[in-house]
Amino acid sequence: MTLPVPHLGERELFPNLEARAYLAHAAISPASRAVQEAVAAVLDAYGRRGAGALLEWLPVRDRLRQRLARLIGANPEDLALVSNTTQGVLDIALCFPWNPGDRVLTFQGEFPANVTPWKQAGVEVSFLPLPRVRNPEILSLLEAELQRKVRLVAVSAVQFQTGLAMPLREIGAMCRRYGAALFVDAIQAAGVVPLDVQAAGIDFLTCGSHKWLMGMEGAGFLYVSPQWVERLRPRMAGWLSHEDPLGFLFPGGSSLDYERPIRKRADFLEPGTGNLLGHVALEASVGLIEELGVPAIHAHVTAYLDALEQGMERRGFASLRSARRSGILSVQPPAGWSLGDLHRGLARRGVVCSTPDGFLRFAPHWPNHRDEVPFVLATVDEILRQGS
């Protein structure tokens, strides 16, 4: 069956989505028909052929790498397919060539996935306060700290609480100037905010697939700049990290050899059997995003949130949105209102959003139509009226 062509603001590829306004893409995206049918095809093949289906579906990994590389301005050979954002952080935290006294610098409010692995690596982690609006203030605080010697800066491309899109190009230039590596957690950006790892001077970038990339949990990717691949220590290598890792399994292949060299490519961080269903789902969802274009998606989502933000502020909600736009609008309720009550009231009436760390967070994506905004605001009015 031929799938409909995706269009901004149309839900034809999400026929079973129950919510009237699904605004929780910053948490988990619903599975499109493209994702569901791609996964069903794999399950059907494995149900019929078992191991015989493996070679049929292996090319998905290479195609997916190519799509993801285009999405972030990278080369496919510089990407590893990993299980999630945290795994990408752990891979670099445990393989990085640390020296005694090295320090990682990050920002207050970072999601724990971009904090805990650095602590587990045994290096000092320092936190900078994060001004919400002014880039010059962010950069001046960062430069002052970089002057005190920092080995690596770890930052989210978009902050999960407030939706602040960080000035990655300016941060990247500053890191290069002071000799620090730049690591980016892109899970709240990739798929909705344009990214270019080379233009921004990003050394490492990781992202899971179940938010703005609209895939399923358990799949993601890690970008490693070519200048860093050979400097990493392969502490996270496994049996598939070697050169010619599958050769001994096939007739006429190489003999079993535990001393084969570890590959000098980013994909040495694919140490064992991968999540084929997750990769197939991600290829399908990223294909839709490619077709629409991230800049067009970003403009579409920005217009939606501009209208929603104005309406929420008129109703007494305080917006945390900054001039650096992302796909997120986080607000604080008027005085006296329970965040939990508001969240549950919205959900009962068909508006799905999320509540990270004390904020009401709205996160539309390309299928959301701006005509939803009056419904969302009318729903808020009903809750406020009934509870007053």
Residues 234-247 have pLDDT tens digits of 999 999 999 988 88
Mean per-residue pLDDT for 82-109? 97
Q: In the block, which residue shows the tokens 């960080």?
A: 166
**Does residue 370 carry a pLDDT above 70?**
yes
Count CA within 13 A, CB hemisphere, residue 302.
16
Going by pLDDT thresholds of 50, 70 and 90, the confidence category of residue 254 is low
**Percentage of the chain surpassing pLDDT 70?**
98
Domain borders along the chain are 21-25+293-387, 38-290
Q: pLDDT for 148-168, tens place per residue? A: 999 999 999 999 999 999 999
CATH of 21-25+293-387, one of 3.90.1150.10, 3.20.20.140, 3.40.50.150, 3.40.50.10210: 3.90.1150.10
Model confidence band, residue 249 (pLDDT cutoffs 50, 70, 90): confident
C-alpha span between 302 and 194 (Å, rounded): 13
Mean pLDDT in residue range 349-370: 96
pLDDT-derived band at 3, boundaries 50, 70, 90: confident
CA angle (66 as vertex; 62, 67 as ends), nearest 5: 120
> Of 15-29, 42-56, 73-87, 166-180, where does mean pLDDT reach its minimum?
42-56
Pick the CATH number of 38-290 from 3.20.20.140, 3.30.450.40, 3.40.50.300, 3.40.640.10: 3.40.640.10
pLDDT score at 135? 59
- pLDDT at 133 exceeding the cut of 60: no
At 55, is the pLDDT very low, low, confident or very high (cuts 50, 70, 90)? confident
Mean pLDDT in residue range 45-64: 92
Give dist(CA 254, CA 211) in Å, integer: 41
Q: Residues 175-230: pLDDT tens digits?
A: 999 999 999 999 999 999 999 999 999 999 999 999 999 999 999 999 999 999 99
The sign of the torsion formed by the CA atoms of 338, 115, 219, 61 equals: positive
257 vs 180: CA distance, rounded Å: 38
In sequence order, the 6+-apart residues with CB closer than 8 A to the CB of 284 are 32, 34, 35, 37, 38, 215
Proportion of the chain above pLDDT 90, given as a percent: 88
Q: Do domains 21-25+293-387 and 38-290 have the same CATH topology?
A: no
pLDDT computed for residue 250 by the predictor: 78
Query: How confident is the model at residue 322, as a pLDDT?
Result: 86
All residues at 6 or more sequence positions from 28 whose CB lies less than 8 Å from its CB, including other chains? 210, 211, 217
Better-scored residue on pLDDT, 250 or 191: 191
Digit-coded pLDDT (tens) for 256-311 = 889 999 999 999 999 999 999 999 999 999 999 999 999 999 999 999 999 999 99
Task: Give the per-residue pLDDT at 108.
Answer: 93
Residue 119 pLDDT > 80, yes or no?
yes
